[in-house]
Amino acid sequence: MPVLPERVADPAYVPAEPAWRLPFLVPLRLADLSRSSRLILIELDIAYLAGLLQNVELGSGFIQILDSRGDEWMRANESGIVVGGPQVPKVQIAAEGRVVIGEATMELAGEQYQYVFVTRPANGFTVSVAQPYYEIFAPLTPGQNKQLIANSVMTLLVFGIVFWLIRSLTGQQRVLEALRLSERNNQQLIERLETEHARSSRAASIDHLSGLFNRRQFLDVADSLVLEQRRQRKLSTMLFIDLDRFKSINDSLGHHIGDLLLQAVAGRIQRMLGKGDIAARFGGDEFVVLLVGDRSEADIEQWAAALTAHLSAPYMLEGTELNTSPSIGIAISPRDGQSIDELTKCADAAMYSAKKAGRGQYRFFDQSLNVSDVEEFHLEQAFVEALKNREFVLHYQPQVCLEAMEIIGYEALVRWQHPGFGLLYPDRFIPVAEKTGFVVSLGMEVVRLACAQISDWQQKHGISKPVAVNVSPIQLAQPGFCKDVLATLADYGLTTDLLELEITETAMLEGRAVESLHCLKAAGIRLSLDDFGTGYAGFAHLEAVPVDKLKIDRSLINRISLSHDDSPIVSSTIILAKRMALKVVAEGVETREQLVHLKVAGCDIAQGYHLGRPMPAEKIPEFLRTFAEEEARA
């Protein structure tokens, strides 16, 4: 095995001079090991070695061959063999082992070197290679710089993005905050607007006086309600409500009370409403109700009757008790109409019908539903038969002369002794008779009956007292009325002074009626003006009409007891009538006070419950006896 001896042991060693040959000693092993070994010297030309190293890229680095003590045998770099120059620090060389590989860092001429070495302790040499770090890393440096630049750019980019993000987020946050604020403001504005809108809508949709819907709102709402009811195959009912005598209440008690009444009526209607029902005031004293829900026709009628009763109950308004009643027209969908328009028209018409029927009435638009109309119809149908069967009878109410307090005559009041309905009073059938024209024949029948009775009394009891008969203006307007009356009197052989005809003020407005009156008057029949003080008639008409008596209406007489303030009207009327040479009859005298008052006032004749109720003719003789006895007692 060749061994490289130590450098200093070389006989040719000169410090600072290169060794141009590496002397390797190779011991020759002889058979006899006890004898001293012989050595072969092999010298390696360093230039040869340098030539080989020529192709090794060392850069600024170098390669060294060191002896076992770390002394340099040779140093070479890319340019060639190097002698002298900076002292290369010695590395710790391993003393034993086969091959030792090591690595160290050293500084040479201010430069850091990496130093890699291989030591072969057995061969006594070490080969080392040193290269400055900057060269080792040289291939990396540009990349490193690029990487650094890239990293810096990336970092800047990331910072930039983060900055931008933060900025934009902050900006967004600000915008959002501003938006939220403006949203809140908007919300507040919207809420205010909505409140205002609701208020104005309410104001626009509500009738301020009654608190019910107004016409517009009612029609809006009702339309869809009716549609929905139809869809559910349920009835919708429209009720038109009009207050009776509202105008006179308003006129007499003032608008304030009128308004209070309207409010009270609205309140009563409101309380009657069921779920889903709506009510409105259309204006004036006109109320409308739409009933929905699942109501049958019977239910509807029941409801209408209840409403009528409810609204007819007395009202207490600021200490004043008021009585009024509704006239109600009822239309039912789908029977009477599909649309609100149709229903409104029908209900309106029905309401007028109810109004005509009298106060506190309700009427269905569909006639078949009007029970009273059915009765009316029946009566109408029964008229002819009744006349034929002489079902009409007269009751007689005595008329008393106040001065003598004796009975001076009777007012004949017609009754219908209906086989089915019993005794019917004129208010039940006179309107029907007037409407159908039966009033003419009925009137003649009454005249006939009265005449027959006078005649009967004359013959049986020797009584010859005049009988007053009510004549309808329609009848008066009949061309042959005067002639017919006179004929009837003649038939019974009566004088004209025994028959008195009571006419209403309206009769005086009709030209033909006035004609008849003159005819009758001329014939000697006495005429009296009925219901004086309630109609249009004034005293002016009295001059034109040849009446003999004035009958002061019961409503005026009634007030005598209620209010003493009203007595001057009666007194004045009496005085005026006297001045016109008219006899004055007071109707409806019910109390003794009224009687006294009337007597004091100068009234000629009185009739009323206080003096005698209307009674059948056969009761007259007994009444006369009783009356005479009472008068005698008084």
Partner 1 sequence: MRLLTLILAFASLAFASFYSWGAVREVKNCNINRLTFTMIPKKDIDQQASEYQPLITLLEQGLGMPVELVRATSYESVMDGVLSGGVDLAVMGPASYVIAHRTDPGLDAFASLTTEAGLFTPEGSFYYSLLVVPTAAGINSIEDLRNTRILLTDSSSTSGALIPKNEFATTIGEPFSDFFGANIYAGSHDKALMALLDNKAEAAFVSSSRADEALRRGMIAEDTLTVLWRSVPLHYDPFVFRSGICEDVRSRVINLLTTPSPMLSEYLNTQRAVGINLVTYDDYRAIEAVLNN
Both tokens of 303, joined, read: 């409801």
Question: Least distance from C-beta 157 to partner 1, angstroms?
Answer: 41
Of 46 and 279, CB closest to partner 1: 46
Residues 112-131 that bind partner 1 (CB under 8 A): 118, 120, 127
Both tokens of 465, joined, read: 């007292």
Question: Least distance from C-beta 71 to partner 1, angstroms?
Answer: 17
Cα angle value 32/36/38 (rounded, 5°)? 95
CA distances in angstroms from 407 to 275, 397, 411, 611, listed in the order given: 62, 10, 11, 10
Of 82 and 235, CB closest to partner 1: 82
For residues 278 and 153, give the distance between their C-alpha atoms in angstroms, rounded to a whole number.
78
For residues 14 and 131, give the distance between their C-alpha atoms in angstroms, rounded to a whole number.
27
For CA atoms 129, 132, 133, 136, the dihedral sign is negative
For residues 392 and 197, give the distance between their C-alpha atoms in angstroms, rounded to a whole number.
67
Contact with partner 1 (CB under 8 A): which of 5, 7, 18, 354? Answer: 18
Both tokens of 157, joined, read: 């980019």
Question: Least distance from C-beta 169 to partner 1, angstroms?
Answer: 58
Within 10 Å of residue 113's Cβ, how many Cβ atoms? 24
Within 10 Å of residue 28's Cβ, how many Cβ atoms? 8
Q: Is 73 helix (H, G, I), strand (E, B) or coil?
A: strand
Of 107 and 631, CB closest to partner 1: 107
Contact with partner 1 (CB under 8 A): which of 9, 30, 39, 83? Answer: 83
Q: Which of 110, 116, 142 is nearest to 131 (CA)?
A: 116
Of 83 and 181, CB closest to partner 1: 83
Contact with partner 1 (CB under 8 A): which of 8, 27, 37, 86? Answer: 86
Question: Least distance from C-beta 153 to partner 1, angstroms?
Answer: 35
Of 5 and 18, CB closest to partner 1: 18
Candidates 13-21, 228-236, 256-264, 361-369 — which segment interacts with partner 1 by CB under 8 A?
13-21
Of 128 and 353, CB closest to partner 1: 128
Cα angle value 68/73/78 (rounded, 5°)? 130
Of 85 and 283, CB closest to partner 1: 85
Q: From the CA atom positions of the chain, what is the Rg in Å?
A: 69
Question: Least distance from C-beta 151 to partner 1, angstroms?
Answer: 34
For residues 120 and 124, give the distance between their C-alpha atoms in angstroms, rounded to a whole number.
6
Of 86 and 254, CB closest to partner 1: 86
Candidates 79-87, 135-143, 448-456, 604-612 — which segment interacts with partner 1 by CB under 8 A?
79-87
Question: Least distance from C-beta 167 to partner 1, angstroms?
Answer: 54
Candidates 36-44, 257-265, 423-431, 515-523 — which segment interacts with partner 1 by CB under 8 A?
36-44
Of 76 and 330, CB closest to partner 1: 76
Q: In what order do the strands lie in the sheet with 278-283?
A: 278-283, 286-291, 236-243, 326-333, 362-364
Of 86 and 621, CB closest to partner 1: 86
DSSP code at position 95:
-
- Contact by Cβ (8 Å): 530, 506: no
Q: Which residues contact 338 (CB under 8 A, 6 or more apart)?
A: 226, 230
Candidates 18-26, 152-160, 305-313, 360-368 — which segment interacts with partner 1 by CB under 8 A?
18-26
Question: Least distance from C-beta 148 to partner 1, angstroms?
Answer: 28
For residues 567 and 114, give the distance between their C-alpha atoms in angstroms, rounded to a whole number.
147
Candidates 15-23, 246-254, 305-313, 590-598 — which segment interacts with partner 1 by CB under 8 A?
15-23
Note whether 79 binds partner 1 by CB under 8 A.
yes
For residues 253 and 322, give the distance between their C-alpha atoms in angstroms, rounded to a whole number.
10
Question: Least distance from C-beta 79 to partner 1, angstroms?
Answer: 4
Question: Least distance from C-beta 109 to partner 1, angstroms?
Answer: 10
Q: Is 191 helix (H, G, I), strand (E, B) or coil?
A: helix
Candidates 84-92, 217-225, 563-571, 608-616 — which segment interacts with partner 1 by CB under 8 A?
84-92
- Contact by Cβ (8 Å): 114, 138: no
Of 62 and 429, CB closest to partner 1: 62
Q: Which x/- pattern, by CB under 8 A, does the window 37-76 give for partner 1?
A: -----xxxxxxxxxxx-x----------------------
Both tokens of 320, joined, read: 């004043």
Question: Least distance from C-beta 78 to partner 1, angstroms?
Answer: 7
For residues 226 and 40, give the distance between their C-alpha atoms in angstroms, rounded to a whole number.
136
How many residues bind to partner 1 according to rule CB under 8 A? Answer: 33
Question: Least distance from C-beta 120 to partner 1, angstroms?
Answer: 7
Q: Which of 16, 76, 88 is nearest to 47 (CA)?
A: 76
Question: Least distance from C-beta 146 to partner 1, angstroms?
Answer: 27
- Contact by Cβ (8 Å): 500, 525: yes
Question: Least distance from C-beta 52 to partner 1, angstroms?
Answer: 7
Question: Least distance from C-beta 42 to partner 1, angstroms?
Answer: 5
Contact with partner 1 (CB under 8 A): which of 6, 20, 209, 408? Answer: 20
Candidates 20-28, 217-225, 366-374, 399-407 — which segment interacts with partner 1 by CB under 8 A?
20-28
Both tokens of 365, joined, read: 């638009």
Query: What is the bridge-based pairing of β-strands 38-45 and 21-28?
Result: antiparallel
- Contact by Cβ (8 Å): 191, 184: no
CA distances in angstroms from 252 to 241, 248, 255, 319, 537, listed in the order given: 22, 6, 9, 16, 20
Could you list the residues that contact partner 1 (CB under 8 A)? Answer: 2, 16-18, 20-21, 24, 42-52, 54, 77-86, 99, 118, 120, 127
